[in-house]
Each structure stands twice: as structure tokens, then as C-alpha cells.
Amino acid sequence: GAGVSQTPSNKVTEKGKYVELRCDPISGHTALYWYRQSLGQGPEFLIYFQGTGAADDSGLPNDRFFAVRPEGSVSTLKIQRTERGDSAVYLCASSTSPNTEAFFGQGTRLTVV
């Protein structure tokens, strides 16, 4: 399909390990967002890309979290030295332009044990 694709769907990792989460946005969408959602909560903003650059990374909780979008399409969210509190569903979304509706992927469920 032509929707936002996130891989993997599920990721189980041990505390202290490094993980990468991938997002393939809808083709042609210049804006890309990462959100984190805990059980029973709404999505919480992490970072927003316009093209290749991170226009707003104010939601990244600390310097263990980093995201890139080197060619303005695929994005990778990287988490170093994972902690159990990082366990959540990580959602990616994209939109044609920043002030139009964003379309979400199915999410990556990260579990840190």
C-alpha cells in the first residue's frame, strides 16, 4: 500500500542495548513526525522533520534519543542505552506540508526487558 510503513512492528531488547526504529513515509510527504504512546495515553511529540532537517526536536526526552532523515524520505529513530521506561509504542507520521493532516503508521512496539 501507499501508507506510512514502520519496521519492525515489535522489538524486544535488553536494558542497555541500542535500537533503531525505521519509518518509510508516504511518497512525496516532506513533513515527518515521531511520537511515543504509552498505554492509555495520547501520542507524545518527539521530533519533527521538514525535509532533511530536524525543525523541532524539543520532545526528545534526553540525549539517548536521536533521529535522522538523511535524504528527506526514510527516517530512523535511534535509542542508545535503552531503559525499561523507554518501553512504549513509537509512532511515525507524515504529511504533504506542515499544516495539513498527518497520516500515521501502525507503530513499533518497543519492550525493554
Q: Which residues in 50-89 contact another protein (CB under 8 A)?
A: 50, 55-56, 58-59
Give the integer Cα–Cα distance in Å for 63 and 97.
28
Minimum distance, C-beta of residue 11 to another protein, in the bound complex (Å)? 15
Under the binding rule (CB under 8 A), the answer on residue 28 touching another protein is no
Under the binding rule (CB under 8 A), the answer on residue 43 touching another protein is yes
Residue from 99, 51, 41, 107 nearest 77 by CA: 107
Give the integer Cα–Cα distance in Å for 84 and 105.
23
* Out of 8, 51, 61, 98, the residue judged to bind another protein by CB under 8 A: 98
CB 87 within 8 A of CB 112: yes
Q: Rule CB under 8 A: which residues touch another protein?
A: 4, 6, 31, 33, 35, 40-45, 48, 50, 55-56, 58-59, 91, 93, 98-107
